[in-house]
Amino acid sequence: MAATDVQDAGSTLDPAEVEKFSRIAAEWWDPFGKFRPLHKFNPARLAYIRDAACAHFARERRGKRPLEGLRLLDVGCGGGLVAEPMRRLGAEVVGLDASERNIAVASTHARQQGLDIDYRAGTIEALLASGEAPFDIVLNLEAVEHVADPALFLSASAQMVKPGGFMVVATINRTLKAFALAKIGAEYVLGWLPKGTHDPRRFMKPEELKAALSQAGLAVTAVAGVAYSPLMDLWRVTDDADVNYMVTAVKPGLHDATASPSS
């Protein structure tokens, strides 16, 4: 994909980052390919999102479709690794990505799985400007470190959250430990990620992210770390936010979703 495939409607679009992920878009659903770390990482973050949503909206998390009746926006959805499970949990899902190749891969895979997901190529600020109705849940997973203007990106994303809704942001901490593990270790030593996937200067400390979310009108309710256990070969949610971490933030106000989850 050329960097101009999606027109820049603001200043969050980083054409080099879009091109980087577009070049390997065909590998999104290969669990042993370039996105293998995300496939390994996915169970931990999916469980976290499901549990956070069920707790927030008073849903039974063990139900077959606990997110039934909720609208969810997955910003920077890539090939749909999170959008598809969220749809299976019952949410009405819109997947947004600046890469048309990513959206093409995601759309094709969803159709093959029989899932009706509304995938769109574009930026969050363009979606906001379009007059799109706000969402109960907005996800920004491993996206904020790849945009040109994180503050604008988070502000536009926050405006897409309904009053009483919430947003989950997942990113990488700007620490020496994160540089050693998420950059040097993952890209150069273990080869988990293509070299150049991350620019450590774009990593964001939790206090910086919390401040940006607060400025955007959201109230941070939880910060959780995600750490890899080499002995168990899996990722798990922990209190250690030194490398990967997730932040949950709520938009104050009365939530107006009245649909009940399926049992």
Q: Give the start-to-end residue ranges of the domains of the chain.
A: 15-250
Rounded distance between C-alpha atoms, residue 241 and residue 170, angstroms: 11
For position 262, what pLDDT does the model report? 41
Q: How far apart are CA 14 and CA 63, in angstroms?
A: 40
Average pLDDT, the chain: 86
Highest mean pLDDT, choosing among 21-30, 48-57, 185-194 = 48-57
Single pTM value for the model: 0.87
Question: Position of tokens 């050329």?
Answer: 2
pLDDT greater than 50 at residue 6 = no
Once rounded to an integer, what is the mean pLDDT over residues 59-63? 88
Contact (CB, 8 A) for 119 and 87: no
Give the N- to C-terminal CA distance of the chain in Å, as an integer: 42
- Position 194 scores a pLDDT of 65
Confidence at residue 32, expressed as pLDDT on a 0 to 100 scale: 85
| Look-up of token digits 């990513």 | 102
**Average pLDDT rounded to a whole number, residues 13-21:** 82
Indicate the pLDDT class of residue 10, thresholds 50, 70 and 90.
Answer: low
Assess contact for 178 and 242: CB atoms under 8 A. yes
Task: Give residue 42's identity as a one-letter amino acid code.
Answer: N
* Of the listed ranges 169-173, 176-180, 246-250, the one predicted with least confidence: 176-180
Q: Is the pLDDT of residue 4 over 90?
A: no
Tokens of 23: 């070049």
The string of pLDDT tens digits covering residues 33-47 is: 878 888 888 999 999
**CA–CA separation, 91 and 112 (whole Å):** 19
Instruction: Name the CA dihedral angle for 230, 235, 240, 243, rounded to a multiple of 10 degrees.
Output: 80
Query: What tokens appear for 220 in the block?
Result: 């941070």
Nearest to 158 by CA among 31, 253, 243, 244: 253
3-class SS shares of the chain: helix, strand, coil, % to 5: 35, 20, 40
- What is the C-alpha separation between 113 and 85, in angstroms, rounded? 11
Q: Give residue 191's pLDDT.
A: 60
Q: What is the mean pLDDT of residues 172-201?
A: 70
pLDDT digits (tens, 9 = 90+) for 79-133: 999 999 999 999 999 999 999 999 999 999 999 999 999 999 999 999 999 999 9
DSSP 65: B
State both tokens at 75: 């910003």
Instruction: For residue range 149-162, list pLDDT tens digits in order.
Output: 999 999 999 999 99
Give the pLDDT confidence score for residue 64 in this predicted structure.
87
Which residue, among 76, 92, 91, has the nearest Cα to 28 in the 3D structure?
A: 76
| Matching residue, tokens 């593990």 | 181
Is CATH 1.10.287.110 what the domain over 15-250 is classified as, yes or no? no
Position 75 pLDDT exceeds 90: yes
